[in-house]
Amino acid sequence: MKIRKITVWILAVVMILSLTACGSSAAGNNGQSEQKTASAETGSTAADASASTETSDGTAQSETGSTAEESNNSASAESQDEAAAGSETAKDAAAETAEPESSDSSAQAAADADVNAPVIDGLTFDHAMPLEYADGFSVYYYEGGYKLIDVPLSGQYLVIPEGAEAPAGIDPEIYLLYQPLDQVYMAATGSMSFIDQIDAMENITMSSLDKNGWYIDAPIKAMDEGTLKFAGKYSEPDYELMIGSGCDLAIESTMILHSPEVQEMIEDLGIPVFIDRSSYELDAFGRIEWIKLYGAMFNKEELAEEKFAGQENVLDELKDFENTGKTVTFFAVNSNKTITVRKTEDFIPNMIELAGGKYIFEDLQNPGSSSASVRLSMEEFYNTAVNADYLIYNGTIEEPLESIDDLLGKNELFSEFKAVKEGNVWTVDKTWYQSTATIGYLITDLNRMLTGGDPDEMAFLHKVQ
């Protein structure tokens, strides 16, 4: 494997020198580049193109590499919500009818029988990863330790065990990920928490954010210790650092679709590009379940299952809780004074419902775009949200609110809102968008907010005075 990396490094140096001399990307894209270009054309929707300074979640990306990726303005998934309560009912029913000693194995066998696993010459399919909520990916296991990660509109990624080789005649459009994947460039910053939760931080050695762009502890600590280096933002990566470090994988958000020439360049250097689409999940727990994908990528499946189960406990704690009927809106005021909210079918309204609240916009859509973000004029927002019981300001786009005066400074009309008058204005802080693996705790926060719980016990929500 080291010989392979050295060879790739030498070829990459020659390539990057040639590319620098001609001032453009190398010609002759391989099959993977063609596939990704197609993804950019078909998968990068109007949501992706709505603003070149937005991440896959639509959050502002600074020119210094500091991003608020994976937060309010996300492009939505092209999947359907899986109601958490329905999932619990289905699991309970299955438990009642299954044989006690063999329910897990029987269920897995039945599931595998229905799986239409991709056929890969030279590999024998073994089983598929069981998923409860996520619609945006699949993982297929083959004998010999091979795994195929399938992310629609992003691509297929064959994870090859350390010391093994790719099957002869493998489809050139399938990305090849050679484990141990220990020199990874992370530009999908909202997914860094997945890596932290499965104890794989040592595999991430390069970041698209500098230290000041991080709000969670793990990458800050890694940068302090020198094990994680800033390697340029997603649109301007440090190619020389990536090559010199022997980068074996670039994990990107859909923001890379705004810079197809960068993706092409990375791939031409022999570095596979994995595009994370966790922010496209409509179900909150579908998004959290992406931790299992990273568990498969880094051979941490057992720990990923354990961490996901810990988040599912949030549902168990609230399963007998009756909906309060109180209405909530989740919004941000943009620099041009428009209001960004979420369309009704999105993981944030889903979390509000799970917490016992009701999203104020009952049937808000975004015609002509798959984006979960909807921009409204103040008048449009006022007409519906003025009577909301709770206002939650998304501080991951602009700065979090420090006071009610901050909100009124954005628009004096907020003084007429019911939530402002009754002191029910809250803000979510910047740690939230980088904490995807634990966003289930926001559901707990929301429930405490709706039931008069102690704000000091909340992880992400803060009351605005």
What does the pLDDT read at residue 58?
Answer: 40
- Residue 105 C-alpha from the chain's centroid: 30
Q: Is the pLDDT of residue 399 over 90?
A: no
What does the pLDDT read at residue 111?
Answer: 52
Q: Is the pLDDT of residue 448 over 60?
A: yes
pLDDT tens digits, one per residue of 199-220: 999 999 999 999 999 999 999 9
The answer to whether position 139 is within a domain reads no
Q: Is the pLDDT of residue 21 over 60?
A: no
pLDDT tens digits, one per residue of 272-296: 999 999 998 999 999 999 999 999 9
Higher local confidence (pLDDT), 109 or 85? 109
Grade residue 95 by pLDDT with cuts at 50, 70 and 90: very low
Grade residue 316 by pLDDT with cuts at 50, 70 and 90: confident
% of the chain beyond a pLDDT of 90: 66
The answer to whether position 380 is within a domain reads yes
Mean pLDDT for 105-125 is 74
Q: What is the 3-state secondary structure (H, E, C) of 169-228?
A: CCCCCCEEEECCCCCEEECCHHHHHHHHHCCCHHHEEEECCCHHHCCCHHHHHHHHHCCC
Are 133 and 87 in contact, with CB atoms under 8 Å apart? yes
The answer to whether position 401 is within a domain reads yes
Are 75 and 371 in contact, with CB atoms under 8 Å apart? yes
What does the pLDDT read at residue 23?
Answer: 40
The answer to whether position 340 is within a domain reads yes
pLDDT tens digits, one per residue of 27-71: 333 334 444 333 333 333 333 333 333 343 444 333 333 344 333
d(CA 125, CA 411): 59
CATH at residue 442: 3.40.50.1980
% of the chain beyond a pLDDT of 70: 75
What does the pLDDT read at residue 317?
Answer: 82
Gyration radius of the chain's alpha carbons: 23
Grade residue 322 by pLDDT with cuts at 50, 70 and 90: confident
Q: Is the pLDDT of residue 15 over 90?
A: no
Q: Sign of the C-alpha dihedral, residues 188, 167, 173, 14?
A: positive
Give the chain's length. 465
- Torsion over CA of 438, 440, 446 and 451, rounded to 10 degrees? -120
Higher local confidence (pLDDT), 372 or 340? 340
The answer to whether position 433 is within a domain reads yes
Are 21 and 162 in contact, with CB atoms under 8 Å apart? no
User: How many domains does the chain divide into?
Assistant: 1
Grade residue 400 by pLDDT with cuts at 50, 70 and 90: confident
Q: Which domain holds residue 347?
A: 319-463
Mean pLDDT for 219-233 is 98
What does the pLDDT read at residue 428?
Answer: 93
Name, in order, each residue with C-beta under 8 angstroms of 360's C-beta and a sequence gap of 6 or more.
327, 328, 329, 384, 385, 387, 388
Mean pLDDT for 172-180 is 97
The answer to whether position 417 is within a domain reads yes
Burial status of residue 34 (CB atoms within 10 A of its CB: 0-12, 13-18, 19 or more) = middle
Structure tokens at 288: 């959290």
The answer to whether position 381 is within a domain reads yes
Q: Which of 449, 371, 381, 442 is nearest to 410 (CA)?
A: 381
Q: Which of 2-6, 172-176, 233-237 has the lowest mean pLDDT?
A: 2-6
Higher local confidence (pLDDT), 216 or 373? 216
Q: Is the pLDDT of residue 189 over 80?
A: yes
The answer to whether position 36 is within a domain reads no
Q: Sign of the C-alpha dihedral, residues 391, 397, 402, 407?
A: negative
pLDDT tens digits, one per residue of 343-355: 999 999 999 999 9
Which of 87-101, 238-252, 307-321, 385-399 tops mean pLDDT?
238-252
Residue 413: CB atoms within 10 Å: 14
What does the pLDDT read at residue 314?
Answer: 84
What does the pLDDT read at residue 281?
Answer: 93
What does the pLDDT read at residue 367?
Answer: 82
**Over the chain, what is the mean pLDDT?**
81
Q: In the block, which residue shows the tokens 């700065």?
A: 399
Mean pLDDT for 421-436 is 93
d(CA 16, CA 264): 12
Q: Is the pLDDT of residue 139 over 80?
A: yes
Q: Is the pLDDT of residue 113 over 60?
A: no
d(CA 109, CA 112): 5
Q: Which of 329, 65, 61 is nearest to 207 (CA)?
A: 65
What does the pLDDT read at residue 372?
Answer: 82
